[in-house]
Amino acid sequence: MEPAAPTIAVVMPVFNEEAVLPEVFQRLTTLFDAHPENIWRAILVDDGSRDGSNTLMVAQTKRDARFESVVLTRNFGFQAALAAGLSVADQADATITLDADLQDPPELIPALIERWREGAGVVLAVRKSRQETGLKRLGMDLFHATFAGFADSSRSEQNTGTFGLMSRKTVQAFNRLPERNRFFPGLRAWVSEDVAEVTYDRQNRAAGQPKQTLRSLVRYALDGVFSFSRLPLRLVSYLGLFIAVIGFSLGAFYAVRRLIGIEHAQTGFTTLVTLVLFLGGVQLIGIGVLGEYLGRIYDEVKQRPLYLVKHHHHRE
Ligand code: UDP
Ligand code: MG
């Protein structure tokens, strides 16, 4: 007996992507048609789009039963949209995650599936090249370099984004992770086993503008650091210790000078001001770091759902 055809889910968060969606549908359909050995499920998550994306997606689900669309009640952000898609994909044998802007070419999907069939639990699509330039690129490189230092991420993870494949087991493990502040590549690395890689050239956005603002990327980067490491707290402790030792030595030094009568004059105003301001600054940074963790704990204890679903369009 032939083994049953595996179900492959393709999860794609969509936020105001009307300009690229027709090409997305067309390229996915071509791919699906070329590989009838798999049962395909394209799970498009509408993250509160305000343009024509929703209409296009609903029309597509009516046209082709392999497409379904999960509509969130409003814009919850990329991470939440991805989580929504992954929870719908819970029962698929393997799940592909990719951006809707075609920066991640769907044509690579068969190569990812191939590695999964060979036994990989997670297949990462590793970028040989990137299209981002300038400040954004610098920020991304800086982030990946520091993140690699903070968490035990492997080298290849530095060049991966959303694009990749997860087996059913890893998706289900991912869906069970309870945290609210979600940094997808980090969490995927956390649940992954038997990681394989496939390299590719990252494309330019097929159309439209990037939907993630620099601000949301910075927030994402902070989530990456604070949710995966306590190093900032430790650094602050070390800094405090370092300054305390210097302060103590200086104190002893001046006390001795005073006692043996070398120093009488009331000098040192500049030193004093400098020290007060410096220590004030260091303390504020310390409090800020504490606040980052505290705020995240606050988010976790509230136990709010990551997203709310309005509709799930699919044809039975
Ligand atoms: N996206 C989303 N919700 C948002 C912002 C973006 O679902 O609030 C989707 C977007 O439609 C795209 C993916 O997330 O499919 C990546 O977004 P974008 O291409 O803007 O990010 P970048 O390429 O700059 O990382
Ligand atoms: Mg993009």
Please spell the DSSP secondary structure of 86-113, one letter per residue: HHHGGGSSEEEE--TTSSS-GGGHHHHH
Return mean pLDDT, the chain. 87
**Between residues 219 and 67, which one has the greater pLDDT?**
67
State residue 158's pLDDT score: 63
Alpha-carbon distance values, 247 to 67, 153, 240, 242, 272 (Å)? 66, 37, 10, 9, 12
* Residue 130 in contact with ligand 1 by CB distance below 6 A: no
One domain, residues 248 and 195: no
Q: Residue 72 to residues 76, 93, 138, 207, 309: CA-CA distances in angstroms? A: 8, 24, 33, 23, 4
Gap from CA of 78 to ligand 1 centroid (Å): 6
User: Does 66 fall in a domain?
Assistant: yes
Residue 79 CB less than 6 A away from ligand 1: no
Dihedral sign, Cα of residue 179, residue 182, residue 184, residue 189:
negative
Distance CA 126, CA 119 (A): 18
- What CATH number should be reported for the domain holding residue 178? 3.90.550.10
Q: What distance in angstroms lies between residue 19's CA and the mean position of ligand 2's atoms?
A: 13
Return the pLDDT at 203.
77
Q: Could you give the CA distance from residue 117 to residue 181 in angstroms, rounded to a whole number?
A: 32
If asked whether residues 23 and 139 sit together in one domain, one would say yes
Report the separation in Å between the CA atom of 173 and the middle of ligand 2, taken as the mean of its atom positions.
26
16 part of a folded domain: yes
pLDDT at 154 over 60: no
% of the chain residues with pLDDT over 90: 44
Distance 207 CA to ligand 2 centre (A): 10
Q: Quick check: pTM over 0.90?
A: no
| 169 vs 130, higher pLDDT | 169
Q: Is there an atom of ligand 1 within 6 Å of 139 CB? A: no
pLDDT at 192 over 50: yes
Q: Could you tell me which residue, 186 or 109, shows the higher pLDDT?
A: 109
Q: Check whether residue 235 and residue 202 sit in a common domain.
A: no
User: Residue 117 in contact with residue 256, Cβ under 8 Å?
Assistant: no
Q: How many domains does the chain have?
A: 2
The response to whether residue 185 sits with its C-beta less than 6 Å from ligand 1 reads no
Strand-by-strand arrangement of the 94-97 sheet: 195-201, 122-129, 164-167, 94-97, 7-14, 39-46, 67-72, 309-313
Cβ–Cβ < 8 Å for 94, 9: yes
Q: Does residue 47's CB lie within 6 angstroms of at least one atom of ligand 1?
A: yes
Together in a domain, 48 and 96: yes
Inter-residue contact 214 to 111 (CB < 8 Å): no
Measuring CA to CA, which residue among 13, 171, 29, 212 is closest to residue 99? 13
- Ligand 1 pocket mutation pick from 182, 211, 214, 215 by most atoms within 8 angstroms of CB: 211
What is the domain extent for residue 83? 7-213+304-314
Q: Tens of pLDDT along 24-61?
A: 999 999 999 999 999 999 999 999 999 999 999 999 99
Query: Per the domain annotation, does 220 fall within a domain?
Result: no
Beta carbon of 99 within 6 Å of any ligand 1 atom = yes
Those residues whose C-beta lies under 8 Å from the C-beta of residue 215, and which sit 6 or more positions away, are none
Highest mean pLDDT, choosing among 45-49, 220-224, 271-275, 278-282:
45-49
210 lines ligand 1 (CB under 6 A): yes
> Which residue, by CA, sits nearest to atom 13 of ligand 1?
99
**In the predicted structure, residue 1 carries a pLDDT above the cut 50:** no
For the ranges 28-32, 122-126, 228-232, 278-282, the lowest mean pLDDT is seen at: 228-232
81 and 199 housed in the same domain: yes
Q: Residue 227: how many CB atoms within 10 A of its CB?
A: 19
In a domain? residue 1: no
User: Quick one: 82 and 125 in the same domain?
Assistant: yes
Q: Whole-angstrom Cα distance, residue 242 to residue 229?
A: 21
How far apart are the C-alpha atoms of 142 and 221, rounded to whole Å?
10
**Ligand 1 mean position to 233 CA, how many Å?**
31
The number of the ligand nearest the C-alpha atom of 221 reads: 1
- What's the pLDDT score for residue 118? 94
From the CA of 217, the nearest ligand is 1
Does 245 share its domain with 194? no
Residue 68 domain-assigned (yes or no)? yes
Q: Is residue 140 part of a domain?
A: yes
pLDDT by residue (tens digit) across 60-113? 999 999 999 999 999 999 999 999 999 999 999 999 999 998 888 999 999 999
From ligand 2's centre to the CA of 98, what distance in Å?
10
- 145 and 155 inside one domain: yes
- Is the domain of 242 the same as that of 113? no
Residues 76 and 23 in one domain: yes
- Looking at the structure, tell me whether residues 204 and 253 fall in a common domain: no
Residues 198 and 249 placed together within one structural domain of the fold: no
40 forms beta bridges with 8
Q: How much is the ipTM here?
A: 0.95
Pocket test for ligand 1, best of 101, 131, 204 (most atoms within 8 A of CB): 101
